[in-house]
Structure 1
Amino acid sequence: MSRPYVLLSAAVSVDGYLDDAAPDRLLLSNAADFDRVDAVRADSDAILVGAQTLRRDDPRLLVRGAERRAARLAAGKPEHPLKVTVTASGALDPGLRFWQHGDRKLVYTTDIGARRLGASLPDSAEVVSLGETVDFAALLDDLGARGVRRLMVEGGGRVHTEFLAAGLADELHLAIAPILVGDPAAPRFLRPAAFPGGSGRRMTLADVTRVGDIALLRYLTTNGTPP
């Protein structure tokens, strides 16, 4: 058994925000970048987002492109990747679009969260308790045992921080939009944390791509080999 290759994906403003503090989501990506993200999703075995992202953005987390879905089916894969979320509290609304689309969903939580969720979720969702706390290494071990070889993590900031601080991310795609937010109440890409190697550790810049008015930076954070 091996853990999945973990790819973090985020779109941020120039000053490092994932969104502003307004009720409606701030669209940082352009059409070409949304299509790029869809291609990365189609190449993944599973997509993970945190509970706060579900509450704020209510994403479906599906592969949008019909040709990409057909290619997955032709390769013997499910039409859409496995959808995964993480919640310590178990405070998730069963009416979210996350539950209503796609065939398979996994919820990683704590013992307390599992009791809170109970039988409130659809039959297509499986709740996995990781004990007293959410252990991201144990989460990856469980996904690896389920055959997940490539995991795409789409946020939010707390989840990205957890993966990077634990040294569990292999690759980072950072799409930088030409927007300034400047609101301390808005969510940032990363939170304060003790990252491996300290503040002087440098990641490997693997590629820089222009996607319309967005700069896409691709960093390698480990020596892991993509599947």
Structure 2
Amino acid sequence: HAEAAALAAARAAGSDVRGATAVVSLEPCAHWGRTGPCAVALADAGIARVVFSVPDPNPVAAGGTQVLRKRGVEVIGGVAEASGREALGDWLARQVAPLPGEVGARPQVLVKMAATLDGRVAAADGTSRWITGPAARDHAHGTRARVGAIVVGTGTLLADDPALTARLPDGSLADNQPLRVVMGSRPVPRDAAVRGPGGDLLVLRTHDPAEVLRELSSRGVREVLIEGGPTIASAFLAAGLADELHAYIAPALLGAGAHAISGLGISTITSALRFHIVDVHRLGDDLLVVARPRPPG
């Protein structure tokens, strides 16, 4: 929702955007999800003309051109489309990658893990708080505030009792809260933290990642953060439904305990899931490695 962010920045700077031209790479969205459509936000702000490069390929979000024109906004699309597609890169490619056997875009999937240098996400006694330091945790909360949904399994829910909220450094709730999704067959306790203040709670009685994404797509969710333990993360990876890895690595060693990933069914190095690193951030003493799957071939 870059348009909404740009409008907010203009307001904060005291700029009057009425009568202005908005130039964007992607057609402004027209769908109502956890936030309103960017097309409506532009029209409400008094933008007179919108110039965009690439039509939105997601049928859930497309239609911004029609919304804007009905509101009297001049729209020019397809400007420097080749350059726009190059700029949108992997994001655009993922929008047209449907679920198996289906058509249309699916939500983008970010798989997050926080592990020690030896790849452990918990100690032998099951404790896992806190593997990473405050800077890494603050960064992770920023990602939570950006996505439409955050997913864990019932195993993580029962072991850690996470609230699955997006919080500011002072501990207060961020303005934008993700939909909290619990997948699995075991019931969510009545006093679970996910039933407290924060985003809405959605319980899905399934272990199938594709079914989870299908349900979230029907609700207009475009970006999903997988924060479940090794079982859930491995399920999405094994199904080929992970678009980006966010690996927070702490300079610590445990020597025993749960591994970050398990159960991929890989028995030889030639079958390894390969990724390419797109970014590395130092967060206090920790590192964040952002990686995406290598394209076939």
Provide the TM-score with structure 1 as the length reference: 0.76
1:9 maps to which of 112, 135, 139? 112
2:289 maps to which of 188, 193, 217? 217
Distance in 2, Cα, partners of 1:69 & 1:104: 14
Q: Corresponding residue for 1:188?
A: 259
Report the 3-state secondary structure (helix = DSSP H, G, I; strand = E; otherwise coil) of the residue aligned with 2:220.
coil
2:193 maps to which of 87, 93, 97? 97
State whether residues 20 and 26 of structure 1, in contact with CA within 8 Å, keep that contact through their aligned partners in structure 2: no
Change (3 A) 1:154 1:16: same
State whether residues 39 and 68 of structure 1, in contact with CA within 8 Å, keep that contact through their aligned partners in structure 2: no
Q: Corresponding residue for 2:142?
A: 39
Report the 3-state secondary structure (helix = DSSP H, G, I; strand = E; otherwise coil) of the residue aligned with 1:69.
coil
Q: Corresponding residue for 2:94?
A: none
**Deviation of the 1:92 alpha carbon:** 3.0
State whether residues 47 and 151 of structure 1, in contact with CA within 8 Å, keep that contact through their aligned partners in structure 2: yes
State whether residues 236 and 242 of structure 2, in contact with CA within 8 Å, keep that contact through their aligned partners in structure 1: yes
2:179 maps to which of 76, 82, 102? 82
Which deviates more, 167-176 or 1-10? Answer: 1-10
Distance in 1, Cα, partners of 2:272 & 2:232: 22
Q: Which has the higher contact order (CA 8 A, sep 6+)?
A: 1
**Deviation >3 Å, runs of 4+:** 23-26
Distance in 2, Cα, partners of 1:107 & 1:201: 30
Q: Corresponding residue for 2:52?
A: none
Change (3 A) 1:18 1:139: same
Change (3 A) 1:60 1:15: same
Overall identity of the aligned pairs, in %: 35
**Deviation of the 1:174 alpha carbon:** 0.3
Q: Which amino acid aligns with 1:87?
A: G
Distance in 2, Cα, partners of 1:198 & 1:107: 37
Change (3 A) 1:82 1:222: farther
2:163 maps to which of 42, 47, 60? 60
The answer to whether 1:69 aligns with 2:199 is: no
Change (3 A) 1:11 1:45: same
1:172 maps to which of 242, 245, 261? 245
Q: Corresponding residue for 2:226?
A: 153
Distance in 2, Cα, partners of 1:165 & 1:103: 28
Report the 3-state secondary structure (helix = DSSP H, G, I; strand = E; otherwise coil) of the residue aligned with 2:289.
strand
Change (3 A) 1:219 1:81: same
**Deviation of the 1:69 alpha carbon:** 2.8
Distance in 2, Cα, partners of 1:157 & 1:24: 14
State whether residues 112 and 246 of structure 2, in contact with CA within 8 Å, keep that contact through their aligned partners in structure 1: yes
Distance in 2, Cα, partners of 1:200 & 1:84: 29
State whether residues 47 and 81 of structure 1, in contact with CA within 8 Å, keep that contact through their aligned partners in structure 2: yes
Distance in 2, Cα, partners of 1:154 & 1:24: 16
Distance in 2, Cα, partners of 1:23 & 1:188: 11
Superposed CA deviations along residues 53-83 of structure 1, whole A, max 9, x for unmatched, are 111111111111289834xxxxxxxx41100
Q: Corresponding residue for 1:199?
A: 271
Distance in 2, Cα, partners of 1:176 & 1:109: 31
Provide the TM-score with structure 2 as the length reference: 0.59
Superposed CA deviations along residues 160-180 of structure 1, whole A, max 9, x for unmatched, are 000000000100000111111
Distance in 1, Cα, partners of 2:212 & 2:294: 19
Report the 3-state secondary structure (helix = DSSP H, G, I; strand = E; otherwise coil) of the residue aligned with 1:182.
coil
Q: Which amino acid aligns with 1:108?
A: L
Q: Corresponding residue for 1:138?
A: 211
State whether residues 250 and 287 of structure 2, in contact with CA within 8 Å, keep that contact through their aligned partners in structure 1: yes
State whether residues 165 and 173 of structure 2, in contact with CA within 8 Å, keep that contact through their aligned partners in structure 1: no
Cα RMSD (Å): 2.2
